[in-house]
Amino acid sequence: MAEVTTERRARLLDGIRKGAVRVATAAGGRGGAVAILLLLVVGFFIATPDFLTADNTRNVLRQYSVPAILAVGQTLVIVSAGIDLSVASTAALSGSLMGVAFAHWGWPEPVAVLLGLAAGFAVGAFNGFVITRLKVPDFIATLGPLAAVRGVALLVTDGLPVPDYGRAGEGRRVPESVATLGADSVLGIPLIVAVAAACALFGWFVLSRTKLGRAAYAIGGNREAARVSGIRIERSKFWIYVISGLLAAVAGMMLTGRLASANALMADGMELQSIAAVVIGGTALFGGEGGVGGTMIGILIIGVLANGLSILGVAEFWQRVVNGLIIVAVVALAQWRRRAATRGSGGLKPSPPVDEGQDT
């Protein structure tokens, strides 16, 4: 795609405006997120010519591929009324372990990659075990690993980047396949974006086409009814956390490939980004509804916002403030839309608490 000319900009702008109006009037929580994403895109498009360029678009997609992969796993977990705070630490551990095994211990590439995946599996299985067998609430059970797993990553790497280019000399770097997927492009599409898309597709498939996905919705929607219907709640939750751990491992190795280096402190704070993306995408934190599609819109909102603001020269500190506020704003908007939908036309009037009983 070439640079967009002024005239094409004007035409595009008009089309987007019409589309945005249509989407904004569509009902449903995801419609709201899509509308906001379009508004942001249009807004930045008007504000600066540097925003809607092929390069910058690629840039945003590449940068937010890793949190997107984490958010896929997070969607599965949250749909089943859980939460996984350990995903970012797990990503760091997987990337670091793979890097150390390959660069320092001299393991063959496939084995190093398998070790990274195994680390993700292990953390997911540990979370699942603590939650389903030791009956520790999901939040606490994954809050522990949020700190502990990062600690293990620091131990493994000695707190140093891997490989240490300063010292390693001509030693090995990151595995070739990981570096390719993380940093190269084919036909103008960054491979890391393709990996994220594949993960999203995988998450969508699990949620909508497998028994585990159906169980996740049932557990999140009404745990007691799920139990009475013979759904093995413990077993299902265990595997959901394992999948989340494995996706975190993929994310961590992709990040290592993109940076051409692993370190124990990478992906810092991304667990919150992944949760925010899920919630912005219309998945209720109580579980039982939502899906990967909404989450991907959510991650794009976060990415476009951060990117647009930095192009406009907004200082990093302010970006954090705006980023935080936008999460609250989007969810507040979704709530308002839901209320408006329940009470029919004209939802602008101030009103008493939501009444959902229309039965009897």
Partner 1 sequence: MLELEGARKTYPGVRALQGVDLGVERGEVHALLGENGAGKSTLMKVVAGAVTPDAGQMTVGGSPVPLGSLEAARASGVALVYQDLSLVPQLSVGENVLLGRWPTTRWRTVAWEELHAAARRHLGRIGLDVDPRRRVDEHGMAERQLVEIAKALSGDVRVLLLDEPTSALSDPEARRLFGIVRDLTASGVAVVYVSHRLPEVLDIADRISVLRDGQLVGTVRAAEVDEARLAKMMVGRTLGRGAAAPAAPPAGNGAPAALRARGLARPPRLKPVDLELRAGEVVAVFGLVGSGRTRLARTLFGLEPATGGTLEVAGRPVSVRAPADAIALGMGYLGEDRAAGIVPRMTLAENITLASLPRLGRGVLLATGQERQLARRFADELGIRAPLERRAGTLSGGNQQKLVLARWLCSGARVLVLDDPTRGIDVGAKEEVFRLVRRLAGDGAAILYLTSETREARELADRVLVMAGGRIVRSVDPDAPEEELMAAAGGVHG
**Which residue ranges make up the site for partner 1 (CB under 8 A)?**
209-215, 217-218, 221-222, 224-232, 288-289, 341-344, 351-352, 355-360
Nearer to partner 1, 168 or 225 (CB): 225
Nearer to partner 1, 5 or 229 (CB): 229
Cβ 355 to partner 1, closest distance in Å? 5
221's torsion region: left (phi>0), alpha (psi -120 to 50) or beta?
alpha
Under DSSP, the state recorded for 189 is: E
Nearer to partner 1, 170 or 356 (CB): 356
Q: Determine contact, residues 119/87, Cβ cutoff 8 Å.
A: no
CA distances from 44 to 25, 36, 47 (A): 22, 12, 5
Cβ 225 to partner 1, closest distance in Å? 5
How far, in Å, CA of 141 to CA of 127, rounded? 6
Nearer to partner 1, 18 or 211 (CB): 211
How far, in Å, CA of 2 to CA of 351, rounded? 50
Nearer to partner 1, 188 or 230 (CB): 230
DSSP codes of every residue in 87-123: HHHHHHHHHHHHHHHHHTS---HHHHHHHHHHHHHHH
**Buried (b) or exposed (e) across 109-136, using 16+ Cβ within 10 A?**
beebbebbbbbbbbbbbbbbebbbeeeb
Which residues are paired to 186 by β-bridges?
Answer: 189
Nearer to partner 1, 5 or 210 (CB): 210
Handedness of CA 225, 227, 229, 233 (dihedral sign): positive
Nearer to partner 1, 108 or 137 (CB): 137
Under DSSP, the state recorded for 354 is: -
Nearer to partner 1, 6 or 360 (CB): 360
Nearer to partner 1, 185 or 208 (CB): 208
How far, in Å, CA of 127 to CA of 237, rounded? 10
How far, in Å, CA of 191 to CA of 113, rounded? 17
Cβ 249 to partner 1, closest distance in Å? 20
Cβ 211 to partner 1, closest distance in Å? 5
**Buried (b) or exposed (e) across 323-352, using 16+ Cβ within 10 A?**
eeebbeebbebbeebbebeeeeeeeeeeee
Cβ 354 to partner 1, closest distance in Å? 11
- 223 CB burial (10 A radius; 0-12, 13-18, 19+): middle
Q: Determine contact, residues 284/102, Cβ cutoff 8 Å.
A: no
